[in-house]
A and B are shown apart, each in its own frame.
Chain A
Amino acid sequence: MTERSEGHAGRAEKALPGTVVDVTAGAVGYGGRPVLRDVNMTVRAGEVVAILGANGSGKSTLVRAILGLVPVAAGGVALFGTPLRRFRQWQRIGYVPQRVGAGSGVPATVGEVVASGRLARRGLLRPASDGDRRAVGAALAAVGLLDRVRHPVATLSGGQQQRVLIARALAGEPELLVLDEPTAGVDAASQAAFAGALTDFAGSGGTVLLVAHELGPLAPVVSRAVVVHQGRIAHDGPVPRPAGHHADPDHDHVHPHAPDEHLGWLWGVR
């Protein structure tokens, strides 16, 4: 727990009700090299927010700072109105990392991995309840992997492994789902299954914060995009559209720090 970062009590306590994530003047550096500077962003309950950016822009670092996995050097992070340092209600958050952890030296079944998603709700040394087992089954069904419950995770495709991680997060019945590059290198079938699971989660009132390089099939689900460019927030508003759609009358130019060219990579233009 040593890496938990200091919350910024002053503003965080005054956060509006319904604010799920609140980053205030956040800065993160690795070994003296600044990665994020003066980042301000909020996520309100029920929103589906995508953090977009090029490789190395700092977008993954931003979610890792929000979760307390990297310390913030300055500014503050609050989750559900509580400064990160004092935040303890981790069962309200479901985290989906980029890939299955490095600790895969011993085989593990899909069911075993997904069941660890229940631990945030299950007290230490408490046996799994029927409710725990039901939640694991429901989460596997939501990502279409119920028939794989006894399969070793390592034998699944990359996309299926990603769905296992999403099921693990869903099994904890979180209010906020945080996903780091959920669709990177994932096959089309898994992307569709994943978009479906996310749509269902958002439809039932869940809040989503996801990091992505490209939105792909997730675009219709996303309600707001935050673009990180060179460690700063370059855009916070509607999902930027591809260049061809800029002529649309309803296209909203609210990215003062980033010329449109910077967003070209989002759509594979550059």
Chain B
Amino acid sequence: MSLLQYDFMLRALLGALVTGLTAPALGTYLVQRRLALIGDGIGHVALTGVGVGLLTGGSPVLTAVLAAAAGAVLVELIRERGRASGDVALALLFYGGISGGVFLVGLSADKTSANLTAYLFGSPLTTSRADLVTMCVLGAVVLGVALLLRPWLFALCQDEEYARVSGLPVRALNLLLAVTTAVTVTVAMRAVGLLLVSALMVVPVATAQQVTRGFRATMTAAMAIGVLSAAAGIWFAGTYDTAPGATIVLVAIAAFLSVAVGAGLRRAVRGRRVPGPASGGSGAVAGADQVPEEQPDVVLDR
């Protein structure tokens, strides 16, 4: 680990580890409620916040958190209504967010394309001490929400109507989850970039759930996979001088593929069904539970 004699490498590694730990923790809930790609959209919106920060000379991280949180709350309100036109509303929000960001960054004094690329695809090697402190604080907030509220958020994401009839503060929990998603996006921005944030929220979870049987086990395994991918990615990028954010994500995807192949081989060898992720219902999409239609009397596809 001779690379670690450099402070910037150490900071890059620590920042990536924080990201690798927090993104899958929160991502487990998003995957559970089939909103796997929502982190990507929130990342788009966060770019507008970055633009505002660069333009006003404020902290881009702070304005990114604010913009992402506002976007996440808006997404949650759209989802809550469960309208068919929600898709289009989300598209407007996401593409508006990324265009606004590119536009504002272009207006700012520091309008190098390298600057934009750093926010879009990550730039862990330029992590400053202040960046690292911000990431650790925000990361602790995300972990606190994801771990301490696990039974309640699990119930919410598993069956929102049941949570409602249990008297849980469904709306408050939904908004909390949305804002925490926004914070996670901002934590991960430095390490993997806003366009690759969603990968670390989803891929480690997808990897873990091929071999786990329960929700808690999936979350724990996904966090471990996230941390290992981040560490391996930073090491590889430092050694072979590759793009760190992209390398971390490729390592995570390689882990997914090897586990998929391994699980497939194990199934073939054992010759019987191994517990896997739920097949769910056909057409079981986000917000489907809110479609105000009489439920079918017999569900054939369970």
Interface residues of chain A, those whose CB is within 8 Å of chain B, are: 1-3, 30-31, 35, 55-56, 58, 60-61, 67-70, 88-91, 93, 95, 97-109, 111-113, 115-117, 119-120, 122, 124-125, 128, 150-155, 158, 161, 168, 172, 178, 180-181, 184-185, 213
Contacts and interface: CB of A to CB of B under 8 A. Distances in A.
A109 B212 CA distance: 10
Q: Which 9 A-B pairs have the closest CB atoms?
A: A90-B167, A101-B159, A154-B278, A104-B278, A109-B214, A116-B155, A102-B284, A95-B165, A106-B32
A105 B31 contact: yes
Contacts of A128: 151
B213 interface: yes
B95 interface: no
A70 B292 contact: yes
Contacts of A181: 295, 297-298
B266 to A, nearest CB: 15
B211 to A, nearest CB: 10
Contacts of B28: 106
Contacts of A116: 151, 154-155, 158-159, 162-163, 166
Interface residues of B, number: 59
Interface of B: 28, 31-34, 36, 80, 148-149, 151-152, 154-155, 157-171, 205, 209, 212-216, 218, 273, 275-281, 284-286, 288-289, 292-300, 302
A113 B158 contact: yes
A61 B294 contact: yes
Contact of B162 (A2, A95, A112): A95
B277 A106 contact: yes
Contacts of B160: 101, 103
A104 B161 contact: no
Contact of B299 (A95, A99, A105, A115): A99
Given A102-B285, A106-B31, A116-B162, 8 more contacts: A60-B294, A70-B292, A107-B209, A107-B276, A116-B163, A120-B168, A150-B214, A184-B299
A119 B166 contact: yes
Given A105-B36, A119-B166, A69 B213 contact: no
A152 B214 contact: yes
B164 A154 contact: no
B218 A106 contact: yes
Nearest to B172: A1
Given A31-B292, A116-B155, A105 B277 contact: yes
B300 A185 contact: yes
Contacts of A120: 166-168
A91 B168 CA distance: 10
Nearest to B27: A106
A105 B276 contact: no
Contact of A103 (B151, B159, B167): B159
B165 A93 contact: yes
B159 A125 contact: no
Contact of A69 (B148, B165, B169, B293): B165
B161 A103 contact: no
B76 to A, nearest CB: 12
A269 B94 CA distance: 54
10 contacts: A35-B294, A103-B34, A106-B205, A109-B215, A112-B214, A115-B151, A120-B166, A154-B277, A154-B278, A154-B279
B162 A101 contact: yes
Given A69-B164, A158-B302, A107 B278 contact: yes
Contacts of B169: 1, 124
B166 A105 contact: no
Contact of A108 (B158, B162, B276, B286): B158
B164 A68 contact: yes
B146 to A, nearest CB: 13
Nearest to A1: B171
A210 B133 CA distance: 55
A39 B151 CA distance: 37
B72 to A, nearest CB: 18
Contact of A154 (B155, B275, B299): B275
Given A107-B214, A108-B215, A109-B213, A99 B165 contact: no
A51 B279 CA distance: 31
Contacts of A31: 292
Given A70-B292, A99-B302, A151 B159 contact: no
Contacts of A112: 154, 214-216
B217 to A, nearest CB: 8
B284 A2 contact: no
Nearest to B288: A102
Contacts of A68: 164-165
Given A70-B292, A119-B151, A184-B298, A107 B165 contact: no
A97 B294 contact: no
Most chain B CB neighbours (cut-off 10 Å) among A124, A128, A152:
A152
